[in-house]
Amino acid sequence: MAAKGGKKKELSSRTSASSKTVSMNAKVAAANEKWGFPVWPEWHDADINAEKWDKAGKEKPGKGQISPGFDDPEGKIRLPASLKVHSWKRPQEFLTKEVPVIVKNETSFDLVSANEHIFCSELMRWIVSEIYAVWRIYNENSLNSETSTLVWKPWEHIYALCKATQEHIPLYNKFGKYVLKLYWMGCWRKIIVDDTMPFNEEENLLLPATACQNELWPMLLSKAIIKLANTSIHETGKREMEEFTVLHTLTGWIPEVIPLQPEYLDKVWGFLKEIVPEFKLPEKKAPEPEITQDDTKPEETKDSELKNEVSSMNKLPDTIEKAETATNVSKESPIPTQPEMVVYAGCIPLNLFEEDIFLLMRMADSSEKMRQYGLSHIHSHPVLITRTRSCPLVAPPEPPPLPSWKLIRPKKKIVVTSEPQEPVVEKSEEHIEIASLFLNYKLSVITIPTDIHFPQSTLKKGFHSVSNLTSVTETDENESDSNGDMNQNRRHSNAEDYSQETIALCHQNAELSSKEELPENISLDAKQMSETADTDMKTYTGTKSKDETESEKTSVSRETWMSFEDFCVCFQNLYVFHKPHTYAYNYQKTCFMSTDDEVFYYLLVDSLMPIEILVSFSALVHWYVTEGTKQECSMGVLRVERFSWKSVTPGELVLKMRTSATKATVINLPVGRHILLFTVNCPIGHHIHLCTMVPCVFGEEDTVMPALQKESSRFMEQATAILKAVGNVINNFSSKDELPKALKELEVAHCPPGLHGTKMAEENVKVFNNAFWYLIKSVLDKKDLCRYKFAFRSFTLDFKDTDISGDDTVFSESSEEKSLSSWENQTPTSEEEAAAVKLQAIWRGTYIRKILKSREPGTKENTDVEETLKNLWTVIELNFEQCAVTLLREMFKRNCNSVEKFPCYEDEWCKTYFTDYAVTYADQPPNAWFLVFREIFIVPEDMLVLTKVFTTIPSCRLHVLDNDTQEEMPHAFFKVTPHVYPKNKKGYTFVAEAHTGDQPVAAGKWKLRFISSQSPLPFLSREAVNNIYSTKQFKEYYIPNDEFLLFRYFVKVTAPHTATLQVQTSNSDVFIKLQVLDNEKEITSVIGKGNAVIPVFNFWGNQSLPSSYLKNQEIIQSSTRKGSETGQLKKASNNSLKNSKSSSKSDLVQEAPVIKIDKSFILENFENNVGSPQQSHQYTIEALVLHDSWLLTESESLLVQELKEMQKNEIKVKKIASIPESTIRSKDKVFEKTEKEKFQNERGSLESQPADSNTPYWILRIVSEQKEADFLEMKKDTRRADEIRAMKEAWESAEPGRAVKAFQERVRFINKYAVRDSEEPIAGAETANLTPSSGETGEKAPQTAIGSRLKTQQKKWELIDLSPYMRKTMSESVLRNESIIQQQQMRKEEKINHFRQLRKLVLEQRQKEENDRVLLKQNILEMYENLQASLDETRGRVYSIREAYRNQLLEAERIKQEELAAQEAALQAEQKKRIADRKKKR
């Protein structure tokens, strides 16, 4: 909460009545020691009047100093990195020829000419620019008027050798101590500086200075401003100015930064037109004179108009507003009706190391556009916005009048073109006048030729026209304007006005060039025109008159107009400074604390008009003022979200601000009631300032919540309207004409909008009638209700209303009522029923006719009803508002759907009632558990209730139980969730438990808060809260057993009793089940880890049973319980080290006055919870260790082994103590005494020793009210041990001396096997010493036997190391619980799913491969088929060629054979011829 901070300041008042009179010197001194840095104190005039100006600081060790000057205790200021400090000098060191003064010229100053060497620093440019801006805002009227009375002077922030008065003049202090008054972290602060000034290597002063070298006020003021700036500037940032504003420190005005985003430019222009004065043309009563070229200023009428516009922006209220007006305002000043604001613009400085390419493009466009207006992106600085303009500077000439005959049928101009014409959208005039100190600073303006003339010709578009249409000649629309004089329409008083005109003409040229393309060949006249423009500019600026130069020096800044479109390109942010004193209500919260905890504030606002709240957030994130100091820092964060105590979920985020200085924004809320949660996260300190025109409630939760119980404004408006409509009907009840109108108005008033004429409207009428009757009963006595019932019936004409109880008959008398009482026990016959129905119908008809007749004016019934209603209205008017609230609230309680349609129903979510119940608690030790609160509350009706706990205890938990069902309300993040608590019979029990942790808890206060939307809230079941409790604590060691039983106690109840049970273990990882049994049946149980709590349990006493019943019941149960249960009890009996007397020690937790207890309610509650007191109850409290979760270490196991041996010795001691003295020897008596003392010492060590982490133990606590502490008796369950002990005693009584003999035989047996197992033999003499006749039997023998037995048992039962044979899946063993089983199941399912996915992938891969094989096979077959076909084709081709060749060969052979045959035939023929010839010759 916000209360955790160290220093807080709250201002919640109207501006006209704000006051701060408490001195903060003591708080600041304490804060300096706590936080390690000086928080500058708040400003008080009395401190300045008592200041010692000759007090020097720490002396320097320098030699030759006559009087050491004052040194700032905070050290030297840290200048920006762009300014390199070489040395520090005092005024008497660098002003040797002149006498230093604080201020020399009180009417004007020049901070530009002498400071050009420091303008490389962004911080210095902003300081100088904003000082000039404040000077202009305050003193513009004074500078323009004949009587120069300055309102604001920068040197009045400095105090030295003077009193804190208005218009004081600070004097030069030779000791060098100066006090400055600046605004920081929500108030005016006292800043102390010295007069040491930084210089660089060239001996140039690195702080702003005026043209008068011996004036010191700029340097001192800048040093204090730099001190404040160093608390917010980041060293790793890319800018010297992050979010710090000088104007905020000089005036206290709240800065709001509005980024100029393209999608919101229309809204920005509308916003500027509202808050910035607008330039308007003067009304023309006569023709305007012609403006000549050699005029240096506009005409007087225009000049006066401009001055009036500027003065309207800077006009101040009647009370002179100085630096201290934010806190000291006259009480007689009226409430402001409209907030005042000042606006200036800023651009992001050029950064060559920027990585964002889009930001670099935007910076480049901004730089190019700014140079056209005489500004430089390199010298970034704030620019003051003085005026807006939506009209031309000079009124355009009126067109010549047209003859009347031309207006009859005007001829339309038709322009024939080859392309369709687009409609020309004329842009509206949007211009802004800016004032800048660095206009045309180190910048040569590049003028652009504006007189570019195009000859009349057809435009060439790069193609030849083939159309048959006649050519149309296009002319330059702006030809006449471009040929005009360049100096016309000019408004300038010096050189910058000339550049302004050239820029305006440049825009005309830009518009011209955008409409039509320039031809390739520009005429020579245009080039010459541009050259002459440049030369004219140089000659004009070089030959200025002395008067103009003098006016430049005295002028604060220079102005120029620029279009709004170019303005949004040049600048990226708007800085809107709100004047807090112009708002009707101001609320402030300041907190300084060195912690990372969040601080919460709440805001309640309720209004019938739309709400606008200015939220200012100042964050102190680091202290980095002086040289050589450095500290890590983070941004301060403020989150504003909608909030309701009835919901756990976070609300809608309304605002989120991150800053390291001061930032503000405006929150707009609709009509109605709203609750906002302010969450602040700031390392060192923060300040929140809210400004609004409507009243609010702002502060911590305790401040805001009381205001939520009131009705909302919309609820009151609606309730008042309904009741006024009722009064209007009553006043016009006898008027025949006005009554219907009044009834219609009443219906409109009580019916939600949009429901008229619907079924829901009829339901709403019934709800209104019932609520109106409830109002009548609440304001009147019951004895007069009979007369008012008839009037109510006549008013509403409602004959079916069932909510109106009682007898409606007018004619009934007491005698008739007595006569009717005789019919109650009789059963009517059918004839009697029919007669009764007939009588009722006749009576109802008569009654309704009488009611309807009362609506007719002039009748007796109407007069009687009007008189009755007017009497009722007289009573209502006495408490009108309360009656109106009762009427509408009763309508809301009917839970009708129609009421949800009322606009005021939305405010019901914010309506909250609350009540607190507080108790105190005593000092608590570390690692302790205790009960803080336990009470029963009665819920009167079903309601949503939120419980909230306020405490400083580190761990505190609240439990809420329904006493009817014994169910606990659900939790969310260890807090009880908002829950609808139904009305029950036994109420709800609220129990708060707490743990102290490792550190002790000091006594404090614990508070429980109930929050609900209804009233009355849950109330106590008795008169006062009780915080006196008695705690019974049982603490023992834990001894493992087979049944995993931790403990078991019997509870004897002597009277009805309510208790809280808690068990805690030394091991916080143990799972415990704490349960309460009644007659061995589980009544309630709870499971916890290391800690288990049963918040409430009701014990009922056996009042009708004898006191020995519990003991007899134990004996009966012990004799009947056998088997496994007997073994379980035996193991449980070995767990304790104390008897019932020692363990039932009661420790009172708190001491406080005794509070009276309501016994009747307790008895009734117990009767309802448990039943009849005649029932037999036997309660048992036991705890179990679940899942075998308590694993002991080796050292703990040895301790448990020793405890088991001690328990056996306890049985032996009791056994020997029961033997008669005649049978026990003297040495045995010594042994018995020794063993008893040893056991008692061991048993008492657990209670006396502190808790040790190496010892396993448990603690059981039973918390009761102090007066009921004796109602419970706790007894440990030792039935098994008692049975064994009784058996031993019976044996001993039957045979005296048996126990001693058995013990001696056992010792002899142990020693025998101990000797056998030992390496060294034991002498027989030593064995003989164990005989009964030995004199040392009672001393040495038992000790030796016990020691040897332990060794034998340890050796015998030594576990085998099975770790080499075990397969470990984890490095350490982990208890297998449900979560681990679930995780293993999830892993198995994941493996199965993974295997299924893998199998699916494999099957898909196989199917794919099979398909590929089939496809490959088909491809191969097709390839082989193609090869076969190709082979067959080739073979056939070869065969055909071979066959043709064969045929050729055969043909050639045939021809050859034929030739050979022919030759042979020829030879034969010739031979035959020769033979024939021979034969002839012969």
> Edge-to-edge strands of the sheet including 1019-1020?
955-962, 988-995, 929-938, 1019-1020
Q: What angle do CA 942, 944, 946 make, to 5 degrees?
A: 135
Q: How far apart are CA 658 and CA 651, in angstroms?
A: 19
Q: Is the pLDDT of residue 371 over 90?
A: no
In this structure, the number of other CB atoms found within 10 A of the CB of residue 57 comes to 16
pLDDT value for 428: 80
Task: Compare 1349 and 1183 and report the one with higher pLDDT.
Answer: 1183
- d(Cα 944, Cα 937) in Å, to the nearest integer? 14
Burial 1127-1139 (b: 16+ CB within 10 A, else e): ebbbbbbbbbbbe
Given pLDDT bands bounded at 50, 70 and 90, which one contains residue 1263?
very high
End-to-end CA distance of the chain: 172
- Secondary structure string (H, E, C) spanning 720-731: HHHHHHHHHHHH
Q: Hey, which of 55-59, 245-249, 524-528, 1124-1128 has the most confident mean pLDDT?
A: 245-249
What's the rounded Cα separation, in Å, for the pair 558 and 955?
66
For residue 1007, give the nearest of 929, 932, 936, 928 by alpha carbon. Answer: 932
Handedness of CA 530, 536, 537, 538 (dihedral sign): positive
Q: How far apart are CA 898 and CA 891, in angstroms?
A: 10
3-state secondary structure 744-757: HHHHHHHCCCCCCC
pLDDT of residue 282: 81
1013/863 Cα distance (integer angstroms)? 43
Segment 535-550, tens digit of pLDDT: 343 433 343 444 444 4
In the prediction, which pLDDT does 1211 show? 60
More confident residue, 337 or 200: 200
The answer to whether residue 1328 scores a pLDDT higher than 80 is no
pLDDT at 222 over 90: yes
Top-confidence residue, 584 or 9: 584
Cβ partners under 8 Å of residue 1227, min gap 6: 1335, 1336, 1337, 1338, 1339
Name every residue whose Cβ is closer than 8 Å to that of residue 464 and which is 6 or more positions away in sequence: none
- The two three-digit tokens of residue 1013, written as one number: 């939307």
Residues 152, 166 contacting (CB under 8 angstroms):
no
> pTM of the full predicted structure?
0.69
CB 462 within 8 A of CB 456: no
397 vs 804 pLDDT, higher one? 397
Region of 442 on the Ramachandran plot (φ > 0 left; ψ -120 to 50 alpha; else beta): left
624-634 residue pLDDT tens: 544 444 455 57
Beta-strand relationship, 573-578 and 653-659: unpaired
pLDDT (tens digit, 9 = 90+) per residue, 594-648? 777 889 999 999 999 999 999 999 998 877 544 444 455 578 899 999 998 888 7
Estimate the crossing angle of helix 860-878 against helix 785-796, to 10 degrees. Answer: 100
Q: How confident is the model at residue 695 (pLDDT cuts 50, 70, 90)?
A: very high
Structure tokens at 77: 């200021």
Q: What pLDDT was estimated at residue 1175?
A: 67
Q: What is the pLDDT of residue 801?
A: 52
Kindly compute the dihedral angle of the four CA atoms of residues 519, 524, 530, 533, in this order, to the nearest 10 degrees: -150
Q: What is the DSSP letter of 316?
A: P
Computed over every residue of the chain, the mean pLDDT equals: 75
The Cα–Cα gap between 673 and 716 comes to 12
**In this model, does residue 1330 exceed pLDDT 70?**
no
| Average pLDDT over every residue of 185-191 | 92
Structure tokens at 314: 């800077």
Instruction: Give pLDDT, residue 638.
Output: 94
